[in-house]
Amino acid sequence: MGFHEVKREQVEVFSVSKVHSDILNYDYPKNLPENLILPIKELSKQNGAEVKLYFPVPSKKIKEWREFNLSEDFDSMIKAFENILKLFEAVEATGYKIFCFDMKALYFDDELNPYILTYFPLIGNNDEIDISKFEMPIYINSRPLRFSDNNSRVLAEIFANLKYRDEYKSKEPRDRRRFVEESLTNERLFDFKNWFEKSFSNRYDIKVCKSKFLSSVARYKERWKQSSPEVKVRYRTGAHSIYGTGKVNEDDDFKEEEQVNQDAYLVKRLGNSRIFLAVMDGVSTSNYGDGNIASNLVKKLLLEEVDALKDSEINYEVAKQFYERFIEKANNAIIKEALIIDQTASPDGLMSTTFVSAILDNDMVYLCSVGDSPALLLTKDEIVRINVKYNVGFEKLVLGRNVSGDPNSLTQVIGKARKEGDKLVSDNIEYQFMVFKLLPDETLVLGSDGIIEFTVGAHESEKIENFRKIYTESYEEAKGKVKATAQRILAKIDQNIAGDNLTIVIAKPERNDLKGGDER
């Protein structure tokens, strides 16, 4: 059905109050994609502050995007969003760009092809427009706006609305990007984090935005494919821990070495293709015991328990039960040790530690974390944090809990207790557990929070990206030796006079089905 051959009874009426009146004066070319539905000028009109727009009815039956509930079916959402990217690209091929958007304008047919009721301006090659005057919910805040500007921010916000719906809209604008990034991490959809962060920051044009999204989809799908039984992986490992120059006090020179560093780590080989990794970062603020007692107590218990994984089959249930039992046992041990130190010990000020650990079995990773110690995946060109931070900010923003305090204050640690009458007993500890396939070009890094906090950068995403550069530089300087790489990384970070202990554990895979290796 042609746009200019429509009778009144073949149109849908769409009334909107926040439409600039001159929208009806734009004269767009006829070669725009048909899925971009333009209002019919002859029928549309303005009545006072309201503009009543008439749109042609597409030949296919379409429904408002909310009716598809794509947030519950991520694979369908991926398909729908890929089609949106294609439509944006097709619009741009005609010499126009979409720089503002309203989710009310988005419809899909049953094959998830998008249709957009266009009651906002498109920017042409020679246009310079202040897009903010149209008061659209989504727009690029640049004045004046030119065709050459990027528009990936619009696409990132469409993605966020499709995935998180009203929950996304309910967040303060300043919190929305962080909400999506942390929610993706919480849902183990970390393959999309870098694409979203850079798209939301308007770093991409449509071609790059589409290419990066499709790359994220490919990694996401490959990660959940079953591995071939012929593929065998062995791991190069490296680990290192230092005090942190800015953390050390003069009095520390009179202490035992293990009393100064509150971090602990473990790398244990359980076979040719199976290793166990862990990093514990003892919490400094303790009234009963201290962080190095807590972290080293957890390490001691791990050494007693981890050999049980050597000969057993590893799967989701086995690994999850191991970590669940271990966290409970370690928590009870810390409480018991605190009561030995002080029989009046209370939940507040109890010594505690974070915990991030992985069982690597062939190319499968079974990851568990408590607290805020990072787990990172690195490739030659990308880095992403794959585990959440259990702190006040995360629980308020993502979990919607009514908690108070500093946003960075930890809410989950090993060393968590409550009072039951006069007795100090173990409290419930929440942890993140996930299973995923480590792809051939990826390296897994576990660490204490200091390796990111004391890397140079204005904000966390910049610090993480700069950490990747430090890793790459250190790996090249160490000529591919992972243990030497770990040492060089911490030395470079400590050049900034790190005010915390620094600990890193690296696992780099080598597969029997690949010759050579990646460039890291």
- In this structure, how many other beta carbons lie within 10 angstroms of the beta carbon of residue 431? 20
Q: What is the pLDDT of residues 156-194, one digit of tens each?
A: 999 999 999 999 999 999 999 999 999 999 999 999 999
- In this structure, how many other beta carbons lie within 10 angstroms of the beta carbon of residue 518? 14
Q: How many H-runs (helices) and E-runs (strands) does the chain carry?
A: 12, 25
**CATH homologous superfamily for 233-511?**
PPM-type phosphatase domain (3.60.40.10)
The neighbouring-strand residues paired with 418 are: 425
Q: What is the pLDDT of residues 248-291, one digit of tens each?
A: 999 989 988 778 899 999 999 999 999 999 999 999 888 888 99
More confident call, 39 vs 439: 439
How sure is the predictor about 11, in pLDDT bands with cuts at 50, 70 and 90?
A: very low
**Alpha carbon distance 29, 34 (integer Å):** 11
- In this structure, how many other beta carbons lie within 10 angstroms of the beta carbon of residue 477? 12
Cα dihedral sign for 432, 435, 436, 438? positive
Q: Are 56 and 170 in contact (CB under 8 A)?
A: no
Q: Are 278 and 359 in contact (CB under 8 A)?
A: no
pLDDT at 40: 80
Name the residue ranges covered by the structural domains of the chain. Answer: 8-223, 233-511
The pair phi, psi for residue 441, each rounded to 5°, is -95, 10
Position 235 pLDDT exceeds 80 = yes
Q: What is the pLDDT of residues 443-483, one digit of tens each?
A: 999 999 999 999 999 999 999 999 999 999 999 999 999 99
Instruction: Tell me which fold the domain 8-223 belongs to.
Output: Transferase(Phosphotransferase); domain 1 (1.10.510)
The pair phi, psi for residue 327, each rounded to 5°, is -60, -40
pLDDT at 1: 26
pLDDT at 20: 56
Q: What is the pLDDT of residues 316-372, one digit of tens each?
A: 999 999 999 999 999 999 999 999 999 888 898 899 999 999 999 999 999 999 999
Q: What mean pLDDT is reported for the chain?
A: 91
Look at strands 114-117 and 36-37 and give their pairing: parallel
Position 398 pLDDT exceeds 90 = yes
